[in-house]
Structure 1
Amino acid sequence: MLRSCYGRCFGRRNGDGLLWHMDLKPHPAGDFSIAVVQANSSLEDQSQVFTSPSATYFGVYDGHGGPEASRFVNRHLFPYLHKFATEQGGLSQDVIKKAFSATEEDFTRLVKRSLPIKPQIASVGSCCLVGAISDGELYVANLGDSRAVLGRRGFDGEKKSVVAERLSTDHNVSSENVRREVEALHPDDSPVVVYCRGVWRIKGIIQVSRSIGDVYLKKPEFHRDPTYQQFVNFVPMKRPVLSAEPSIVNRKLRQQDLFLIFASDGLWEQLTDEAAVHIVSKYPRAGIAKRLVAAALQEAAKKREVRYKDIRKIEKGIRRHFHDDITVIVVFLDHHKSSSNPNHKKGNVGYIAPPVDIYSHNLDEVEDNSGDKIFPNVESRSRVAY
């Protein structure tokens, strides 16, 4: 069946026209590498890195139902983090919660304004994973099932020299603990989680229990809107069944902490935490995020019994039947480095985000994604030229 569609499914490009990557760039405490491969007709994964002498932010946003929510988060979350951190004298869990809340509120207002002309936007959402490093402190905040994994040196008694340590919580009802959490919050709304189409889903619709967006599952009043009712089936609920409250972990960086992997669930569907950490620890830094994406694609090809070199030629949209959009950011932690790094002298700010759509970018049709639009108060001469 799969082989019979090769003539229609595979394009003529050499290499992978749906892949974008950046081999290696500096941040104040080390280096980072990014790679993105597109599978959906419109890229639903968005990501970004913001570096400054005071803090570095890493973001991975995995959209669902469309790209609108992940693109919105990509343009609004970091400015809120920067704003609130400046107002409160530094980064904190409270700053992060306020930034997530403000982004959720802004997107909800956008949905309400857009409803008459684009009612389907009420069912668009995004997972949201953010890492931040400031003053030797690491923060990881997430909604949904994108994941942050730490690679660290093994302690005495641990068998491996480099150990994988998961830093984030997967808010996905495939986990029994998450199912119990959701059910406990809705004791009078049974069944709130049902087994549907081979997986557990909230209201038979969605697997993640936390997100930005998905307003129709958070605001019952949307179901009373006749415009919206034309596009989405009624979902009976007594209160919001999804949350935008992030799980946050913070800890001091330690000498044994070697690197961080931030990735959308497209990677983790194919690779275990341990396999990803092993790859990063084994191979050179330059291009390591691309190497992780390639390893995931190899696994996806094996599952579908096709050749790896062929899966790279499948067109967007059709490619979603083989794997999801995949975004990977690998952050190396060099503890001898600091804000005195010559690449990050006082006042220097760097911003980078992959193209909004990889396919269009590779056809030279990408929209301007410069840091000036994200941080309009940052002068272009102060940005690191990426």
Structure 2
Amino acid sequence: MLSGLMNFLRACFRPRSDWRGHSGSDSGRQDGLLWYKDTGQHFNGDFSMAVVQANNLLEDQSQIESGSLSTHDSGPYGTFVGIYDGHGGPETSRYINEHLFQHLKRFTSEQQFMSVEVIKKAFQATEEGFLSIVTKKWPMNPQIAAVGSCCLVGVICNGTLYISNLGDSRAVLGRLVKSTGEVLAIQLSAEHNVAIESVRQEMKSLHPDDSKIVVLKHNVWRVKGLIQISRSIGDVYLKKPEFNREPLFAKFRLREPFQKPILSAEPSITVHQLQPHDQFLIFASDGLWEHLSNQEAVDIVQNHPHSGSARRLVKVALQEAAKKREMRYSDLKKIDRGVRRHFHDDITVIVVFLDSNLVSRASSVRSINLSVKGGGVTFPSSTLAPRTTPA
């Protein structure tokens, strides 16, 4: 009887292949826990997009926006890419997905052109907006203070690429070397994970009076023994001391009070002038980079057709995840959300191909607006698995 009941429950929780994920104004396709859009056109070329869900609730969110980068039809025009890898729950990444690009458009309109300052203001407004949500919901749901998200953004405008990052998602450029025909992988984003020695040193220099600002716990470096990243949107419990108290779960509460924010929401921003030999960009959450090196990912994209590039990268990452656990890829695909998280993380990939003729055109050239948001599996509310506590 017990085995029969378990089979029934598995059937209830197993995603149907014909369900669709939310994808803005343009739809993708669903295959079990995988959502994908194999090809589409943006202002500077074409793109491919894929998301595979591992958590009970998808914590990765993503979007590509192309066309006007301001609230005015006069532009400037270009392409916006966002990868938001949430932790502790989906609330922060969902909030970023709905608000960051709108803030960027507003500040671009005010300044009338794209700039580093516009991007910084958009990040700051998003952080402040989520803080207001936490403040409002704290009395009823104090655990929302322990929810946060990495935030990786790419903006292409007038031949210039802006890469902005909080956390450990990654942007990698594929650049053609004409003399050899090779396509080299060049990492464009700076990561904020205390597994990196330089990030640990940065945290120690910012908090010289705290000998335990970074702690090695279970062979993993963590800020205050709690979290691996040093910068994020959200994670208010490590930024505002008034939220690091009861009734927040004890495992998130620090024993000693802190006077200044432990985590930062200040993005690292790099500016790159795109060249004709710059072939494509890979934006992905750390779920991909856990299994593939930068060059391996670039080689996979370079050696296959544009269409389906993101889905291909996700598949190779899943094959590597299965191999590490000495199981077949076909068996891994049968494991449902929630349980799947023991084998791999949510993985989001957006591959943006660069057409040099389109990249070099003026940002004042009009373009049709495109909006695609990466989807997860959509379940009726009656079949949602219980939400786990923030991790």
Of 82, 89, 92, which aligns to 2:112? Answer: 89
Of 17, 27, 32, which aligns to 2:32? Answer: 17
Output the TM-score relative to the length of structure 1: 0.86
DSSP 3-state at the match of 1:57:
strand
Q: Which amino acid is the alignment partner of residue 97 of structure 1?
A: K
Deviations 1:20-79 (A, max 9, x none): 000110011110000000000000000001100512100000000000000000000000
| d(CA) in 1 for partners of 2:249, 2:38 | 46
Of 189, 200, 203, which aligns to 1:179? Answer: 200
The residue number in structure 2 matching 1:152 is 175
The residue number in structure 2 matching 1:276 is 297
| d(CA) in 1 for partners of 2:273, 2:255 | 43
Of 368, 374, 384, which aligns to 1:348? Answer: 368
Structure 1 position 337, deviation (Å): 2.4
| d(CA) in 1 for partners of 2:211, 2:311 | 44
Q: Is the contact made by 2:159 and 2:361 (CA closer than 8 Å) also made in structure 1?
A: no
In structure 2, relative to structure 1, the CA distance for the partners of 1:339 and 1:26 (3 Å cut) is farther
1:19-168 equivalences in 2 (<5 Å): 19-52=34-67, 54-154=77-177, 161-168=182-189
Root mean square deviation, CA, Å? 2.6
| d(CA) in 1 for partners of 2:157, 2:282 | 17
| d(CA) in 1 for partners of 2:340, 2:51 | 14
The residue number in structure 2 matching 1:383 is none
Structure 1 position 223, deviation (Å): 2.4
The residue number in structure 1 matching 2:22 is none
Q: Is there any run of 5+ residues in structure 2 with no aligned partner, and where?
A: 1-5, 18-29, 69-76, 385-391
| d(CA) in 2 for partners of 1:220, 1:41 | 30
Q: Is the contact made by 1:119 and 1:231 (CA closer than 8 Å) also made in structure 2?
A: no
Count of aligned pairs: 353
Structure 1 position 338, deviation (Å): 5.4
Structure 1 position 103, deviation (Å): 0.3
Q: How high is the sequence identity, in percent, across the aligned residues?
A: 54
DSSP 3-state at the match of 1:301:
helix
The residue number in structure 1 matching 2:228 is 207
| d(CA) in 2 for partners of 1:212, 1:93 | 18
Output the TM-score relative to the length of structure 2: 0.85
| d(CA) in 2 for partners of 1:184, 1:47 | 33
| d(CA) in 2 for partners of 1:150, 1:232 | 37
| d(CA) in 2 for partners of 1:292, 1:199 | 27
| d(CA) in 2 for partners of 1:160, 1:345 | 32
Structure 2 residue 381 is the aligned partner of structure 1 residue 358: no
DSSP 3-state at the match of 1:100:
helix
Q: Is the contact made by 1:9 and 1:318 (CA closer than 8 Å) also made in structure 2?
A: no
DSSP 3-state at the match of 1:337:
helix
Q: Is the contact made by 1:38 and 1:359 (CA closer than 8 Å) also made in structure 2?
A: no
Structure 1 position 220, deviation (Å): 1.3
The residue number in structure 2 matching 1:288 is 309
Structure 1 position 228, deviation (Å): 3.2
Structure 1 position 281, deviation (Å): 0.3
Structure 1 position 360, deviation (Å): 2.7
Of 315, 319, 339, which aligns to 1:318? Answer: 339
Structure 1 position 90, deviation (Å): 1.1
In structure 2, relative to structure 1, the CA distance for the partners of 1:230 and 1:266 (3 Å cut) is closer
Structure 2 residue 357 is the aligned partner of structure 1 residue 303: no
In structure 2, relative to structure 1, the CA distance for the partners of 1:235 and 1:214 (3 Å cut) is farther
Q: Is the contact made by 2:159 and 2:360 (CA closer than 8 Å) also made in structure 1?
A: no
Q: Which amino acid is the alignment partner of residue 82 of structure 2?
A: G
Q: Which amino acid is the alignment partner of residue 222 of structure 1?
A: F
| d(CA) in 1 for partners of 2:295, 2:109 | 37
Deviations 1:205-246 (A, max 9, x none): 00000000000001112225x433668433533321100000
In structure 2, relative to structure 1, the CA distance for the partners of 1:240 and 1:12 (3 Å cut) is closer
DSSP 3-state at the match of 1:336:
helix
Structure 1 position 302, deviation (Å): 0.4
Q: Is the contact made by 1:203 and 1:235 (CA closer than 8 Å) also made in structure 2?
A: no
| d(CA) in 2 for partners of 1:166, 1:256 | 16
In structure 2, relative to structure 1, the CA distance for the partners of 1:281 and 1:89 (3 Å cut) is same
